[in-house]
Amino acid sequence: MHPEVVKGRGGAAPATAGDSAHRLETDALGSITLPARVYYGIHTARAVANFPISGVLLKDHPAFIVALAMVKQAAAQANQQLGLLDGRRASAIVEACDDVRAGRLDTSFVVDMIQGGAGTSTNMNINEVIANRALEILGLPRGTYEHLHPLSHVNLSQSTNDCYPTAIKVALQLQLSDLIRTLESAASAFRTKATEFAHLVKMGRTQLQDAVPMTLGQEFGAYAVMVGEDAQRLREAATLITEVNLGGTAIGTGLNAPAGYPELVCRRLSEISGLKLSVAVDLVEATQDVGAFVQISGVLKRTAVKLSKICSDLRLLSSGPRAGLNEINLPAVQAGSSIMPGKVNPVIPEVVNQVAFQVIGNDVTVTMAAEAGQLQLNAFEPIIADTLFRSIRHLDAACRVLVSRCIEGITANPVHLRDSVMNSIGVVTALTPVIGYAAAAQIAQVAMASGRPVAELATELGGCRQTKWRACCGPRLLSCTQPTIPRKEDHDRFDRCARPARGTGDLYPAAGVLRHPGLQRTRQCANSRH
């Protein structure tokens, strides 16, 4: 049973189940009868029978199909320029490649992505579809390969071992550019929230315990930097896959490719794809080495790990709403329980977590497949390709959902944030330069045992006047991240500004207070000596 052509993105004509028109194709192993209307041929049909493995077919990776067609188009143009392919056939192949790139033949790419043979089945599938479409363009029946052959003409000057990995690299470039843009969009969304939350002071935490105050804006700003850094790391890693082994043919020696072909076909492929590609310095090395794929996978894993960490933070910060941290609110996008009315779960961060887990596991797959290469070829590029494509596509989709369905709708709970700072023992850390570590630890211990505010105990046990307490331990001061060296002319201004803001409580200093902890603490130490 062969997959029938169904209406795809470009509207390929369907073959009905009762269609009596067939064609006979033959290879070294024998003959197979195929529906006359299908674009693929005998080699594809054998692969479909041999590899019913994952159910993820070549057609499920459109970017890879486009990349394969670009490689075949570049090869046809180079072969014509070198006099190996006549203009009539070359033009038909180029036009067929345009149809493939436009998605008009997507449903004809039916081989499983996971396959034996180092990608040969995929190469046969693209060769046969292009050949039969080219025959159609020439006004000839599909399968009349004596006029235009999948291997003699479409695959001319090529091997699976150079065109397949080259197409993987082109497809990765196309997909990575999308992911990079999506990550930059996520970083921008976090920056927007960082600005929105810049005035909201909260408690920072280390090891899930109260640490010192910070702003919610600083927390979200850190997420923006983390995601933005990963976009840059992916951009750097993408430069490793601009070097291709096209023209090396079977093992990199260039057998059956004419002189000048590698440089010419690479130049043509660069023009078609819009990518800056170059011929590998050593084609033998480039044919067997998949280290660039390992690097890409590693950076994808890094991105997944950091995204997962951020999403775990979002789940924790929004936990509750009444029995958790409850510092932020995630958008409610669906009911959370079939038994607990009113429950809403953090489903968007959860799905990003799961994508991250998959990408991390995928990196192990790529690593093992890369290690398993032997001598002049790695036969496991199919699983490397499928794994990388899925990692990129899933990360891209997850980031898009995270931005539109979560980050953009996050709100804060300012009263709860303020109360958590006022009731925290972590602010005592700011007193250590003034009263010493031992005295500060005593205040923390008494506050823990008695439940009394640190500010009250600092006055009672540490000898700090309220004015000095506010100057040293106002959360807005503590959340400052760039202390400066105090200047003499600032001293008079310090005492004038260090007073409570009207209506904001003792822990929130006036807006005019200098916001540099280094200055405040130095002045506090000077005052304590008098």
For the annotated catalytic residues, the residue numbers are 337
Strand partners, 23: 34
Backbone dihedral angles phi then psi of residue 500, each to the nearest 5 degrees = -65, 145
Q: How far is CA 3 from the centre of its chain?
A: 33
Which tokens hold the place of 111? 């081989």
Angle at 70 between CA 69 and CA 74, to 5 degrees: 115
* Close Cβ partners of 184 (under 8 Å, ≥ 6 residues apart): 228, 231
Task: Provide the total of helices (H) and of strands (E) in the chain, helices listed first.
Answer: 19, 8
Q: How far is CA 340 from the centre of its chain?
A: 35
CB atoms within 10 A of CB 400: 15
* Close Cβ partners of 476 (under 8 Å, ≥ 6 residues apart): 201, 508, 509, 513, 515
Which tokens hold the place of 4? 């029938």
195: helix, strand or coil: helix
Backbone dihedral angles phi then psi of residue 479, each to the nearest 5 degrees = -80, -5
125: helix, strand or coil: helix
Q: Which of 479, 476, 465 is nearest to 434 (CA)?
A: 465
* Close Cβ partners of 422 (under 8 Å, ≥ 6 residues apart): 453, 505, 507
CB atoms within 10 A of CB 475: 25
* Measured distance CA(343)–CA(18) in Å, rounded: 53
Burial of 228 (0-12, 13-18, 19+ CB in 10 A): middle
Which tokens hold the place of 13? 């004509």
